[in-house]
Structure 1
Amino acid sequence: MGIGWSKLGNVEQYASKEDIRKSLRTLYRSKYSQKNCALALWQFLHELKPGDVIFAKRGLNEILGRGVVEGSYEFDKNDDSYPNIRRVRWTHNGEWYSECLLATKPLTDITAYPDLVAHLNSFFEDEGSDLEEDAGQIEYPAYTPEDFLSEVYMDAERYRTLVNVLRAKKNIILQGAPGVGKTFAAKRLAYSMMGAKDAERVMMVQFHQSYSYEDFIEGFRPNAQGFDLEKGAFYSFCKKAQDDSDNDYFFIIDEINRGNLSKIFGELFMLIENDKRGSRNTLQLLYSHELFYVPSNVYLIGMMNTADRSLAMLDYALRRRFAFFNLLPAFDTESFAAYQKGLASKKFDRLVACIVKLNEAIASDESLGNGFCIGHSYFCRISSDDVIDGKLSEIIDYELVPMLCEYWFDEPSKVDEWADKLRRSIQ
């Protein structure tokens, strides 16, 4: 199955639905909010899982087929129409008329509408009785350390160090400046350590000021009759890992320093330590009073933007339970040099050289430092056509210069100086 919006490039480069929405509006010069399109792309990448049943539709009343998702997200850079792909085993194809009106959105989760699901499944009752049984037999694409190194601009020695540290500590925070590819690297690190692109064993959440223990572990939620005790994301993930102790599981936390960490982790501060894992170390949960432990096959990967001035330092109790790994701009790596050489663009070469000098200026600034340098991901997945049709100019004007305005808000002359240098480098 495929979904469009090819101008966005690989959707995995976007950290949030809001980033996708803004890019859609810019790239397609749209006067509309693009909220639904951004949601569809986000769900296509993050929420669809192998084993999910999908229905293909046309218009508001016609079903064209049913299938089972078998693969994780892929980006086909050679497809200009539908480059965003999920591998699907199509169990049925044809034409079926639905009396129920179907959503107009390109992708809609209908799990919460059991009557509609039952209506659609009724078209396939004669043939689909073994669908769920077959859906569980999924072969995930292999993913090796070599695959990681081919996609993430990091040398082999640093990758081995990263893996060894995570294996030993169980918990790690990837920290770095904007655009160094923290989110991009985190999922691929998990895949490379698992040896397969098994999205079922990887979960990502994003912390924010309102994220709580009730979201993370468990808490009471209101319903029509009163309150239900509902389990949170990390609790459910740990239970899933307990039932599959032969395989590794990876829980990824984006923007880990944006949440109130003592409030979110609660009594789990102790249980996430590498030497406190397993059923021999249990604690009673706050609401259910259940004895709970964190399995030894669960790894935590946090991500932290070192350039966000609005955030306080991490809680020391959490800091000593995590290892910290700096992701740096990769302009000097062999893999980025090979990518740059493949573009064969003097304009791109001049811009990269200018960014390297800009990073030197940022690093030497006493009020900034290395944590504010500009990362390489702003310039990844650019084609020769992008260099010609103004993509570089858009990156400079709408992404880099606004960032420099924040960095040097009290030195506008310095912003103007570097904005001029960046723009002249691509002329």
Structure 2
Amino acid sequence: MLNFYSENKNLIIDDEPIKDKLLTIPLNQKRLYKISHGSFKTKANESIRDVFKENQWIVIHENTGKGQAEAFKNDLTEGDYVYITIGGNELFTIAKVKAGSWGYVPEDITDENGWIYREVEYIKSAINPDPSPLKSFKEFIYPSGNSTLTEITIDKIEEANKNIFEPHFDVEFISEGATKIKSQGELQKHPNNIILFGPPGTGKTYHSIDKAVEIVTGIKSNHEESKVIFDKLKKEGQIEFVTFHQNYSYEDFMVGIRPDIEFEHLRFKPYKGIFYEIAKKARENYLASKEQTALAKSFDQVFNEIIKPIEEKNESVEITMVSGLKYKITDVSDTTIHFTKPSGGTQHTLSIQTLQDVVEGIKEVTSGLAAYYYPLVKLIQEKRKPVGNVQKEKLKNFVLIIDEINRANISKVFGELITLLEEDKRIDAKNELRLTLPNGDKEFGVPPNLYLVGTMNTADKSIALIDIALRRRFEFIGYFPDYSKLEESDG
């Protein structure tokens, strides 16, 4: 016995329980989702939840909107992972989707038809099922996020590991194709203006997608994963894509006017181009994150809330004027607000674009219509303010990809942006500059979190022929033929 102890003493001494060791789950090209059973979170539905647990089902109603039911039916595949939450009340388990199609939950279980299920295999129950620390997080990937099925893309995995999986499941997910650029989670500093150049067929447009995703997320990944993230970010407005051509102009890119085809007589309406719009989003995000506040609601979001009774119930909307009198908004088209004066006079209109410009401080109204514009402006500005305990805005990077940047007259398209694009001329930079645009927008500046990625075909025009003022503001990255591929194909 003494000999046994002597030979194995180190083994016995070292044989202590390992604490806080995470279970690492590699995704291996599979996807990760949140699924919420929030519709069954009440005590009265506990028996229904027990049936789901007994059968190891995840469920969703087939009428769930925003493509969630279709994704549940068609996008979930064998081997994908889900974490199951009971609404914002409880974190339940991590599971793996099993082979097989979806099916209908028998009506006698839910007392309602239309519920569909997928079979899963439970992997790891929550060690801390209380989601209270996550209540302030309202993004869709969190238990309190207003969604039933949400994919946790690779740009969100690090955040989900930190806030959800490590503290609540003792688990971390890793994506084989994802590489952290900085251990601190900070985004690597990229040049604000980049042009990928080279002869045709060398992958410039292909790599512009990967570069844009890297700038926004701080993650280098394979192209397949980057394309999935790219499509998501483009849909959310954090990445935009445009192709230049010979007829492309400043009015298309920044600001200009377009014919108003809704009006019977010839007249024009303001137009805001792709650069103006993405610069506005980036600036709003930058200022909100700098001031540690939540992002204000958009003009369109608040305006649509105000006119909702007109759209849904055909009821007019009353707006109280400074005098205490009220005018009624009776109809709204794409560009025009129709209203009735307090005196009963009809056939009066306000411009939605002018209203938005006044709300955003771009212009002022001094005509007699000011009495009607400004009460509505005040109402919109009040409704745009964040209410309650809203999550503070985090700094995000925005990217505009300009394909075939040298096919347009670049100096003509960029106009005064030639100056504003410089890193030291951007908002809060050492030599910050702001300009008044042709549309009257005062104090326009380019934020530091907006990046331009251009592609340039040198078979059309060499770099030497590019405007020198533009050349010195961009960093050029070359893409050239790989002749070793020819040697491989020749054997």
TM-score if structure 1 supplies the norm length? 0.42
Structure with more helix by fraction: 1
Structure with more strand by fraction: 2
TM-score if structure 2 supplies the norm length? 0.37
